[in-house]
Chains A and B, each alone.
Chain A
Amino acid sequence: MSPSADPDPRQFGRPLAFALAAAVMMVPANVLPVLRTRVMGEARTDTIFSGIVALWDDGLWGIAAIVFVASILIPVLKLLGIAWLLREARVHARLRARRDTRLYAILDFIGRWSMLDVFLVAFLAGAVQFGALASVEPRAGIVAFAAVVVLTVLATDSFQPHWLWPDAHPPASPGRPATAPSRS
């Protein structure tokens, strides 16, 4: 298929499937506990959200904000963004194609930052092992959350942004010159 041809709607199936799977996995990711902490015999389990609230209550507002953005806001924005892009590709919203392409680039960039919570839990689980004094154990929610991250990255990756540009230009055989080189 040339980049100028209209995309086959069946091609949308893969990013749609990944996005739907990610949306489904968001439920256990946010409902199940991701971490169990035990300090001096006192145990508590945390979901992603309760962990953020605990950070906030401890006065670590900046850290709470970082974890909130990486673990809740970015996955939700990515799913909404992919849904929007799929819609735009279907309706051939040519006038918004440039803006939508930029949106795609942003979604592609921010997706990786959701892995923060997975790395965080992994590090805590590996580092805090003091037997009865203090220990941290990973819980099933973190597996579901990692699945959300992987599925949203795969959804973005399987979306082809040239779908947003139906027959805007034929593939240039001699090639148009790129914009005049500019100083970065």
Chain B
Amino acid sequence: MAPYQLPSPLSSARGQSLLGCPLCGFTHAAVPLAQGQRATCVRCGTLLCARGRLGPHAPAAFALAGLLLAWPALSLPFITVAKFGNFRPTWLHTGAEGLWNGGMPVLGTWVLTCGILAPLLLLGLLAALLAGDTRGAPDLHRQLLRLARSLAHWAMPEVHLLAVLVAMIKLGALVDVFIGAGFWCYAAMSLMLVLAWRSFGFEPSVSTTDGRRDPAP
């Protein structure tokens, strides 16, 4: 089944598919969307579902490209700083390592999680959801979607990138700064994650029981 195709695998007792608004919980009948269309909640105006213009395989392509970029992002030099001829190359994980060495291992682990682990896991989950057909097992599909939404709260590569850019400008007066290939790969990976996430055709939770929303993306 194509990733965007509605109705969702869960159906009401009368055979009609329902979409629950992730914010206000209002239940709607599912309607098929054409490319470039989006459906919004009649009650609160929240975007319920969107179908991208780039075709059904675009999110999978973005997710896989992000995963491919992760390896060079992790292994190539990120930023090199220099002071009086002393060069110090840094890697993506250097920030977490700095906190760890500064006596803050929990915070270091947290930075590693939000900046590297959660984005990678999210890309992997999206690729698994899109490339592997999990809709044959609705429970597994729903659990993976819920996990992806939870992870999306803590995957912050774009915030990490902005922080590094701010740091580079701040460091400009103190040391010489050279951008490495790892930085560009991480930036591209972050972009792929954002594109994959935005173009991913989430089916909002079907609220037939308790009305609790899944964590919002």
Contacts and interface: CB of A to CB of B under 8 A. Distances in A.
Contacts, number: 238
Contacts of B107: 118, 122, 138, 142-143, 146
B108 A115 contact: no
Interface string B124-163: 0000000000000000000000000000010010011011
Interface stretch (B63-71, B187-195, B204-212): B204-212
Given A116-B159, A119-B115, A127-B98, A165 B39 contact: no
Contacts of A113: 159, 162
A63 B38 contact: no
Given A39-B174, A122-B98, A3 B104 contact: no
A157 B215 contact: yes
Nearest to A164: B24
Category for how many chain B residues contact A: 35 or more
Contacts of B104: 138, 142-143
A47 B164 CA distance: 19
A13 interface: no
Interface residues of A, number: 68
A176 B23 contact: no
B179 interface: no
A127 B30 CA distance: 51
Interface string B173-198: 11100000000000000000000000
Nearest to A162: B25
Contact of A127 (B19, B115, B167, B169): B167
Interface stretch (A22-30, A76-84, A98-106): A98-106
Nearest to B161: A119
Contacts of B174: 37, 39, 128, 134
B24 A97 contact: yes
A120 B81 contact: no
A182 to B, nearest CB: 6
Contacts of B38: 181-184
Quick one: which of B28, B106, B173, B211 has the most chain A CB within 10 A?
B211
A39 B27 CA distance: 60
B170 A3 contact: no
B159 A112 contact: yes
A174 interface: yes
Contact of A165 (B26, B42, B79, B208): B26
A57 B175 CA distance: 19
B60 interface: no
Contacts of A120: 163, 166-167, 170
Contacts of B25: 3, 162, 165, 171
A120 B166 CA distance: 7
B90 A171 contact: no
Given A165-B25, A174-B12, A178-B48, A125 B99 contact: yes
Interface in B79-111: 79, 81, 83-84, 86, 88, 90, 94-99, 101-102, 104, 106-108, 110-111
B88 A129 contact: yes
B159 A101 contact: no
A48 interface: no
A126 B169 contact: no
Given A3-B207, A105-B46, 5 more contacts: A2-B211, A102-B44, A123-B79, A172-B18, A178-B49
Interface of B: 12, 14, 16-20, 23-31, 33-34, 36-46, 48-50, 53, 79, 81, 83-84, 86, 88, 90, 94-99, 101-102, 104, 106-108, 110-111, 114-115, 153, 156, 159-160, 162-164, 166-167, 169-171, 173-175, 207-208, 210-213, 215-216
Closest 10 CB pairs of A and B: A126-B98, A3-B211, A3-B25, A119-B163, A122-B95, A175-B29, A125-B98, A162-B25, A126-B94, A181-B37
